[in-house]
Structure formats: structure tokens, C-alpha cells
């Protein structure tokens, strides 16, 4: 039992070091927030399990000590009774005045002897050993209470961090929602971006809402929106995300599939505007369709497949391109 408790405590220490490692990585940006929080939740759930198992083992040990206390008390009672009877017998002499039959007394003596025999020999240092284990038990009990208090504090800290995560995500979603709405307006549509299941980090997600041609905005749905409408809405969302993307290179491949010419031109114009304003990144637009109203600082690369071979040609080169 003591070995199990030692193993459980060692496992708990390892898990706590794991929590510190994950928190350090999150603070340094080594892992994504959602991934870090998932790992923290897993570690804390295992810490709770390990702590619970330790409390169960401590409870089992307390039961064993309780049985030891009961046996010890019974031995003391029997000894006191024997000593009292012996002293009384010595005072009264050989003959004992009693209304009980001798056979009854002898039977009781045999019963008592059997009870004493069942107890076995009691070591002379049992009280010292009991006091030692009682002190150890009190120390373990104190540590268990401290562990429980630490667990409560850690759960509170985890909940606080979840709240902080939700606030940060909601702020980012609000910024994306504003940009998404502006881009949809340029396509003659209305809509928004909202965070769903925000109370659950593992199940949280983003829902796109859009309505074209004066229709009421509804969640993006393949049964309610055409292929071109879905593509246009998703492109507006992707473009709204770019302000929160840290990458020197952005590539968009065949974004205009299923789009009508009007929406295609509007989305292309938004891409070119974003590429011109974002001096820290280069944008690569891949499309099988014609390119119109290109900005002056855009490079054009034409890829043709002739007889099973793809050939790339620089159709226009613009230095200092964005």
C-alpha cells in the first residue's frame, strides 16, 4: 500500500511538470492555444484521477488502522478484566462467593481464552508503532488536504484561462466579422461570422452566415446556396482572415470555380487591393480564367501543357511587386 502511494505521488509530480511544460510552451507561442488547452485539460484530468486513487489508498489504510485500534482496545479490556478478577480472587481467598455455577464460569473462561488466543501475541512496542503510524497518517492527511486545495486552485486557473481564451477568440471573430461583412456588401450580399459552442473549447467552431440577392442571411448551406454563392462567401471569409495570418506568402488556387463574372471580378479586385496594401506579403493567384484589371505591380506567369509537358512562361514581370 505504501509503495502504491509512492508511485501515485511520483506520477502526480510528473504530471505537474508536464503541466508546467505545456504552460511554458503556450506562453512562448510554441503550441496553438486550443492544442495547449486540450493538453492541459488532459493532464489535469489525469492529475485528478491520480489524486483520487491516492485518497482511496489512504482511506484503505485508515480502515486498517481502525481495525488495529479496535483489536488493541479489546486486548486492553480483556487484560483489565483478567487483572481485576485475579486481584479480587486473591483478596477473597480460595473460595469465591457467587450465584453462578462453576461450569458457567469455566465455560466463560474457555471463551475468553479462545478470544485471547485468536488475538495472537501482541508485540510489546505496539503502542509505539501505533503512535508512529498515527503521526504518519496525520502527515499524509495534511498533504492530501493540501493537494485538494492545490487541485481546486488549478481548476480555477484553468477556468480563468478558458475565459481569457474565449475573450481573445471573440475579439478576433469580431474583427473578422466586420471585414467579412464589408466584403459581402461589395458582392451585394449580407451576412456575418459568429463563434458557436464558445463554452466548450474542444467543440467550439465558426459559423458563416450569408444571404445573396436580398435574401435573409442563413448559415452557409449547400442546399440553400448555389456553388458560386458558397465559393464567394468562403473567399470573403478567407480574405477577412488575412489580417490575422502571419505568413510572407499567400496562395489562392482556382478560387473562382462556379463564380459568376460579376462576383469573380469583385473578389479579384479585393484580392488585388489586399495584396497592394499588405507590403509584408506576396500573393499568388492561380486561376484557369482570364485576368482583367490587373494592378501595375503584378507579375503574370502562364503555364501551358503541351504533349504531356507543362511549360511556364513569364508573361509580364513587374519589379518591386507585392
pLDDT category, 95, cuts 50, 70, 90? Answer: low
pLDDT category, 185, cuts 50, 70, 90? Answer: very high
Cα–Cα distance between 250 and 286 in angstroms, integer? 11
pTM: 0.52
Average pLDDT over residues 213-217: 89
The pLDDT assigned to 293 comes to 73
Nearest partner of 264 among 240, 244, 293, judged by Cα: 293
In whole numbers, what is the pLDDT of the chain averaged over residues?
82
pLDDT category, 322, cuts 50, 70, 90? Answer: very low
Cα–Cα distance between 41 and 307 in angstroms, integer? 57
How many alpha carbons fall within 13 Å on the CB side of residue 225?
Answer: 27
What is the tens place of the pLDDT at every residue in 261-306?
888 888 888 988 888 888 788 888 888 887 777 777 777 778 877 7
Burial class (CB within 10 angstroms; exposed 0-12, middle 13-18, buried 19+) of 7: middle
C-alpha cell at 105: 464460569
Average pLDDT over residues 251-260: 83
In the chain, what are the domains? Answer: 2-122 (no CATH), 247-322 (3.40.50.300)
Mean pLDDT is highest, among 26-35, 37-46, 96-105, 238-247, for 238-247
Residues 220, 230: contact at Cβ < 8 Å? yes
**What does the buried/exposed string (b/e) look like for 193-229 if buried means 16 or more CB atoms within 10 Å of the residue's CB?**
bbbeebeebeeeeeebbbbbeeeebeebeeeebeebb
Residues in a beta bridge with 196? 205
- pLDDT at residue 318 is higher than 70: no
User: Could you tell me what percent of the chain has a pLDDT over 90?
Assistant: 21
User: Could you tell me what percent of the chain has a pLDDT over 70?
Assistant: 93
pLDDT category, 90, cuts 50, 70, 90? Answer: confident
- pLDDT at residue 320 is higher than 60: no
What is the tens place of the pLDDT at every residue in 31-75?
676 777 787 787 778 778 877 887 787 777 788 888 888 888 888
- pLDDT at residue 195 is higher than 80: yes
The pLDDT assigned to 1 comes to 64
The pLDDT assigned to 236 comes to 92
The pLDDT assigned to 321 comes to 47
Mean pLDDT check: name the lowest of 47-56, 87-96, 178-187, 208-217: 87-96
The pLDDT assigned to 102 comes to 67
Mean pLDDT check: name the lowest of 52-61, 142-151, 165-174, 195-204: 52-61
Amino acid at each position: 500500500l505504501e509503495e502504491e502511494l509512492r508511485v501515485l505521488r511520483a506520477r502526480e509530480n510528473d504530471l505537474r511538470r508536464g503541466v508546467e511544460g505545456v504552460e511554458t510552451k503556450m506562453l512562448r507561442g510554441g503550441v496553438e492555444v486550443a492544442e495547449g488547452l486540450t493538453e492541459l485539460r488532459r493532464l489535469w484530468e489525469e492529475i485528478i484521477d491520480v489524486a483520487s486513487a491516492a485518497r482511496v489508498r489512504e482511506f484503505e489504510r485508515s480502515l486498517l488502522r481502525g481495525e488495529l485500534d479496535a483489536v488493541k482496545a479489546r486486548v486492553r479490556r480483556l487484560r483489565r478484566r483478567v487483572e481485576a478478577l485475579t486481584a479480587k480472587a486473591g483478596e477473597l481467598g480460595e473460595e469465591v462467593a457467587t450465584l453462578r455455577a462453576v461450569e458457567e464460569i469455566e465455560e466463560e473462561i474457555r471463551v475468553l481464552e479462545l478470544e485471547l488466543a485468536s488475538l495472537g501475541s501482541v508485540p510489546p512496542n505496539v503502542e509505539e508503532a501505533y503512535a508512529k503510524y498515527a503521526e504518519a497518517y496525520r502527515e499524509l492527511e495534511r498533504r492530501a488536504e493540501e493537494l485538494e486545495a492545490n487541485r481546486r486552485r488549478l481548476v480555477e486557473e484553468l477556468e480563468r484561462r478558458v475565459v481569457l481564451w474565449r475573450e481573445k477568440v471573440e475579439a478576433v471573430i469580431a474583427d473578422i466579422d466586420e471585414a467579412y461583412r464589408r466584403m459581402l456588401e461589395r458582392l451585394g450580399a449580407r451576412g456575418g461570422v459568429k463563434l458557436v459552442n464558445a463554452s466548450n473549447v474542444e467543440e467550439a467552431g465558426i459559423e458563416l452566415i450569408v444571404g445573396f440577392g436580398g435574401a435573409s442571411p442563413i448559415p452557409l448551406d449547400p442546399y440553400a446556396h448555389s456553388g458560386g454563392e458558397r465559393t464567394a462567401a468562403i473567399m470573403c471569409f478567407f480574405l477577412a482572415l488575412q489580417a490575422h495570418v502571419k505568413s510572407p506568402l499567400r496562395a489562392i488556387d482556382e478560387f473562382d470555380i462556379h463564380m459568376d463574372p460579376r462576383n469573380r471580378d469583385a473578389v479579384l479586385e479585393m484580392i488585388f487591393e489586399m495584396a497592394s496594401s499588405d507590403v509584408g506579403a506576396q500573393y499568388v493567384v492561380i486561376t484557369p480564367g482570364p485576368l482583367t484589371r490587373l494592378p501595375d505591380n503584378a507579375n503574370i506567369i502562364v503555364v501551358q501543357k503541351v504533349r504531356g509537358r507543362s511549360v511556364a512562361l513569364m508573361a509580364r514581370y513587374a519589379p518591386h511587386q507585392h
